[in-house]
Amino acid sequence: MDELKRQRLEAAGWKAGTVNDFLQLSPEESEIVEVKLALSRKLKSLRKNGHLTQTSLAEKMSSSQSRVAKIEAGDPSVSVDLLIHALLCVGATRAEIGQVFIDTRDTSDNENELVLA
C-alpha cells in the first residue's frame, strides 16, 4: 500500500498492518500458516490438473468430499499429515511436496497488509 493511501486511511480512523500484527502470530506460527496454505493450493492445482473431482479424491483417501473441500480451503483443523496424504493420493512426489516448502520460504516475507476500522 502506498504511503499516501495509508496516511489517508489512518487519518480517517482506520488501522493498517499485516495479518501477523492483527492475529499476533509468532514468526513460527506464521510460517506454519503459510506452509499449510501453500500445500492446500498445491493440492487443488494437482487435483484439477489431474482432472479429479473432490469426490474422486475423497474416495482415494477413504474420506469425504466435504473433508477434501476443507483441506483445499486451508481449514485450520486440517493437519499437515492430512495435507501430505492428500497430495500423495493425487500423485505428488516427495520432491514436489518439498518444493512447496522451498517456494513458501522464498515468498513468506511478502506479508499482505490489512486495513481495519
**Which of 72, 3, 14, 67 minimizes the C-alpha distance to 39?**
72
Q: In the prediction, which pLDDT does 109 show?
A: 44
On whether the CB atoms of residues 78 and 36 are closer than 8 A, the answer is: yes
Give pTM, 2 decimals: 0.75
Q: In the prediction, which pLDDT does 9 show?
A: 84
**Which of 115, 114, 51, 58 minimizes the C-alpha distance to 86?**
58
Q: In the prediction, which pLDDT does 3 show?
A: 85
What one-character-per-residue DSSP string does 20-66 give? Answer: HHHHT--HHHHHHHHHHHHHHHHHHHHHHHTT--HHHHHHHHTS-HH
On whether the CB atoms of residues 68 and 61 are closer than 8 A, the answer is: yes
Q: Which domains does the chain have, with CATH numbers?
A: 26-110 (1.10.260.40)
Tens digit of pLDDT at every position of the chain (117 positions): 688 888 888 888 887 777 777 788 888 888 888 899 999 999 999 999 999 999 999 999 999 999 999 999 999 999 999 999 999 999 999 999 999 999 876 554 444 555 555
**Which of 66, 70, 64 minimizes the C-alpha distance to 83?**
70
Q: In the prediction, which pLDDT does 65 show?
A: 97
On whether the CB atoms of residues 30 and 108 are closer than 8 A, the answer is: yes
Residue appearing with cell numbers 501453500: 38
